[in-house]
Amino acid sequence: MKAVILAAGRGTRMRHLTRNQPKPMIDVGKQSILESILTSIRDAGISHFIVVTGYFANLIEDHFGDGARFGMNIRYVRQAVQDGTGSALHLVKDAVGDEDFFMSFGDIMTSLENYPRMIHGFQESPGDMALSVKWVDDPSRGAAVYVDDSGRVTQIIEKPEPGTSTSHWNNAGLFVFTPVIFDYTARLTKSPRGEYELTEAIGRMVDDGRMVRAIELSGVWGDMGTPEDVEWMAKLLADRGGRL
């Protein structure tokens, strides 16, 4: 299985931290966000990566190179215009081929056990995709995920207005996809935010009756969206000796 990491964005909410570097290269503790993600997935048994770069792409590509010194094999695909996660994922279609693959957003940090949890959970209960979820007070920063009693996703709503969601499940940013996802990313149109949204592609899969299964993450989880998120995660890592 290959792993795809979406690491093309700037992260405008990071303010000064992304003035001269992409968000995934921000240091959190002794590693950048991206290095933490890559090494955690490597330790879960995946060694071949496709990293989608964009904003300051050269800083990521020059630092990690072909991945050999990190014990992995890395291939890069550039997103020339940062116009959404759906279009970013569609760019890797040829690189992924006809196999199932793991995917992570390039700003999600979580406990190490969640990477094999996602992979094994998908393999034990195959479907069209597995979607990670985390219980939060209000999923308005991410995407609200509605799940039935069997664990099947019935609806997903990107960035609902604060206080409006009746679900506490948040899209946690780790996925396992079958290649069928590319049938849906190919048909995306721009959202009101002016982006091709991966959430919309997943929503259409759900509407078509595709099996989209939710897998709850355990332990620590954080979306590194703001300087305050980075500060919180750095302190947590320091308290835990550098490991999640």
The radius of gyration of the chain's CA atoms, rounded to the nearest angstrom, is 17
Domains of the chain: which residue ranges?
2-239
Residue 179 pLDDT > 90? yes
Task: Please give the structure tokens belonging to residue 27.
Answer: 């240091």
Prediction pTM value: 0.96
**Mean pLDDT of the 129-139 span:** 97
Distance between start and end Cα atoms, the chain: 23
pLDDT confidence tier of residue 228, bands split at 50, 70 and 90: very high
What average pLDDT is seen over the chain?
96
- The angle that helices 114-124 and 33-43 make with each other, rounded to 10 degrees, is 50
Give the pLDDT score at 56.
97
Confidence of residue 107 (pLDDT cuts 50, 70, 90): very high
Arithmetic mean of pLDDT, 88-113: 97
pLDDT band at 80, cuts 50/70/90?
very high
Confidence class of residue 29 from pLDDT cuts 50, 70 and 90?
confident
Of the pLDDT bands very low, low, confident and very high (cuts 50, 70, 90), residue 26 is very high
Predicted confidence band at 241 (pLDDT cuts at 50, 70, 90)? confident
Amino acid 242: pLDDT: 83
- Please give the biggest Cα pair distance in the chain: 47
Confidence check: pLDDT of 169 > 90 = yes
Instruction: Give whole-number Cα distances, 88 to 17, 65, 85, 124, in Å.
Output: 23, 20, 5, 28
Backbone angles phi, psi at 28, to 5 degrees: -130, 105
Summarised one tens digit per residue, pLDDT across range 44-76 is 999 999 999 999 999 999 999 999 999 999 999
* Range 176-188 average pLDDT: 98
- At residue 243, does pLDDT exceed 90? no
Q: Quickly state the pLDDT bin for 126 (edges 50, 70, 90).
A: confident
Buried-exposed string 27-63: b where 16+ CB fall within 10 A, e elsewhere: ebbebbbbbbbbebbbebebeebbbbbbbbbebbeee
50: part of which helix (H) or strand (E)? Answer: strand 48-53
Write down the architecture of domain 2-239 according to CATH: Alpha-Beta Complex (3.90)
Tell whether the model's pLDDT for residue 154 goes beyond 90.
yes
